[in-house]
Amino acid sequence: MVYSVFYYASEAIVRLTATLIITLAEKLRSLTKREAEKEEERKRIPAPAPRGIFYETVTPMGVKHYVWVGRATDLIVTIPAPFEVPIRRAVPGKPPVRLYFTFNEAASKDWFKEIEWLAQQAEKIEKEGE
């Protein structure tokens, strides 16, 4: 019983002195830190987002967004800002190019040569058509 009292008491004293030394050291360091270093530290920590209102931000892709962060909830709403869509003339898509083969042609050894030849013919006809 006595030994435990000594143990706990000595532990408490050591803890107190250690906390005192550390706090004093921190205080001394903050007093001796230069103004420039303090400014840099303040800049590194970003300001918390305002909650409960819509505020404007820009995404890394360069798109403007309006963001709302909930005050008492984790709700986040992002609305992209409207942007101008340039009016461009509609260009119709090209129709697919089809090459037809039968099973006997596809199972022959010269199939790839035939595909190449047919593709060249199709390109030639396309150029003539243009």
Which of 90, 109, 129, 130 is close enough to bind another protein by CB under 8 A?
A: 109
Which one among 19, 59, 78, 108 touches another protein, defined by CB under 8 A? 108
Which secondary structure element, helix H or strand E, spans residue 69, and what is its range?
Answer: strand 64-69
Find the distance separating the first CA and the last CA of the chain, reported in whole Å.
105
How many chain residues interact with another protein (CB under 8 A)?
A: 20
Point out which span in 23-31, 42-50, 61-69, 103-111 binds another protein (CB under 8 A).
103-111
Residue 128 is a binding residue for another protein (CB under 8 A): no
CA distance 114 to 67: 59
Q: Is 9 in the site for another protein (CB under 8 A)?
A: no
User: How near is the Cβ of 117 to another protein at its closest, in Å?
Assistant: 12
Residue 121 is encoded by which pair of tokens?
């013919």
Q: With 0-12 CB in 10 A as exposed, 13-18 as middle and 19+ as buried, what is 68? A: middle
Residue 94 CA to residue 117 CA, distance in Å, equals: 21
Q: Within 13 Å and on the Cβ side, how many CA atoms surround 16?
A: 6
104 binds another protein (CB under 8 A): yes
Looking at beta carbons only, is 60 or 96 nearer to another protein?
Answer: 96
Stretch that binds another protein, among 10-18, 52-60, 65-73, 96-104 (CB under 8 A): 96-104
Q: Find tokens 């800049």 and name the residue.
A: 43
Q: Which residues bind another protein (CB under 8 A)?
A: 93-109, 111-112, 115
